[in-house]
Amino acid sequence: MIFTNSTSNSFELEFEELLSRGKMDIANVSGIVGNIIKEIKKDKNKALFEHIAKFDKWEPKEDEDLKISAESMLHAYNNIDGELRDALHLSYDRIKTYHEKQKPKSWFDDEPNGTILGQRVTPVDSAGLYIPGGKAAYPSSLLMNVIPAQVAGVENIVVCTPTPDNEPNELLLAACHLCGVSEVYKVGGASAIAAMAYGTENIPKVDVITGPGNIFVATAKKMVFGDVNIDMIAGPSEIGILADESANPNHLAVDLLSQAEHDEMASSILITPSQNLANTVKIKIEDWLKKLPRQEIARKSIEMRGAIIVTRDMDEAIDLMNQIAPEHLEIATNNAFELLASIKHAGAIFLGHYTPEAIGDYMAGPNHTLPTGGTAKFYSPLGVENFMKKTSIISFSKKAINEIGEECALIANTEGLTAHEQSVRVRLEK
């Protein structure tokens, strides 16, 4: 991992390396993904079956093999541990409560002259949700994608998830039942994105596609954008931590590893003005690594994409973190809320010594589908608005158009658009 001080001669180059973490090499997979999309558009289920056999190592025999039955989801729900079921329900309730507060409202404004202006907010007709299922299964991602779509009022929700060797994850199926999802398909990767974007004999075309995935999924989402809407093009998971000497180094070490255990390309970055804290966290990381079942993945991530940076002061630490714009940002200081105003870019901010990033992944309520790779500078977390669209409402009375029509016609005339001009003038009083 990078272990450095902001005053070192090599720091500028080391920091530039960190900032380039979000550059997924889409160029290397674009050709493969492009061919997958073309095949799905042309041959639909036939291509889908071939892709599943190739990438997930099982062969659907008929169309019905693609869809997971409601009975299977109910069976999985009934057979999970009771405490785990209760935990999923608590998570569902908290996520739903938070997202219900996000829902935008339509509005109308009446002017005295008879003008009515407004905005109508309505849900999209259909949404496709991609839920990863390769190295691990993530029922929490299902909740985080389904719930805002449901709160928005989306009528048709389609879920696609890869099932290597045709073995769906039982906990994911239980979460599907809890959420009341009926259309769940055993399709993964770029094939799933293409199927939802353009439709097949079984999988319906949707209006918006959301959900995280690997570089093939991210590339496919980028390629189909425009034919459908997408939430964002997300890369590997990441965490940034701002900490001072009041932080518990043992806590910080395991918090950094909570992202590193996702996959080898995840980023875990601690920035602190305390050299003693930095030294201790480095030791604690090694202690924790020895205890983790996913030690091999976490170790590779820490070695390749991890960093501990010691700065002159907290102001410099904040400046560096704003440049990084991390997906998750923990502020582990005694005055965390005082620092909040200085944070300009982060997908989600976790304040105080008792707010680990993991609480946001599962139980806090805000969405855990977040912008990565520095894109928090212009992207927002997944939310209800991703599943809604806005329509402008305009109504003019005769009096209203007579008040401002002449000015409107003048601008149209200046632009050389005569029909625009006359469509206003024919309505004006002579």
The rounded distance, in Å, linking the Cα atoms of 200 and 7 is: 57
Does 420 carry a binding-site annotation? Answer: yes
- Residue 80 token pair: 């999970």
The rounded distance, in Å, linking the Cα atoms of 214 and 23 is: 13
Would you say how long the chain is, in residues?
Answer: 430
Burial group, residue 113, by CB count within 10 angstroms (0-12, 13-18, 19+) = middle
Does 415 carry a binding-site annotation? Answer: yes
Does 259 carry a binding-site annotation? Answer: yes
Give yes or no for a contact between 374 and 19, defined as CB atoms under 8 angstroms apart: yes
Does 328 carry a binding-site annotation? Answer: yes
Give yes or no for a contact between 263 and 257, defined as CB atoms under 8 angstroms apart: no
Amino acid at residue number 385: E
Q: Is 353 a catalytic residue?
A: no
Q: Per the residue annotation, which of 183, 238, 261, 327 is the catalytic one? A: 327
Does 353 carry a binding-site annotation? Answer: no
Residues 6 or more apart whose Cβ sits within 8 Å of residue 154? 123, 124, 125, 126, 127, 387
Does 368 carry a binding-site annotation? Answer: no
Q: Per the residue annotation, which of 328, 330, 357, 421 is the catalytic one? A: 328
The rounded distance, in Å, linking the Cα atoms of 140 and 238 is: 17
Q: Is 327 a catalytic residue?
A: yes
Does 177 carry a binding-site annotation? Answer: no
CA distances from 309 to 7, 270, 280, 321, 351 (A): 10, 6, 13, 10, 20
- Residue numbers in the known binding site for Zn(2+) are 259, 262, 361, 420
Binding residues: 237, 259, 262, 328, 361, 415, 420
Q: Which residues are catalytic?
A: 327-328
Cite the annotated binding site for substrate by residue number.
Answer: 237, 259, 262, 328, 361, 415, 420
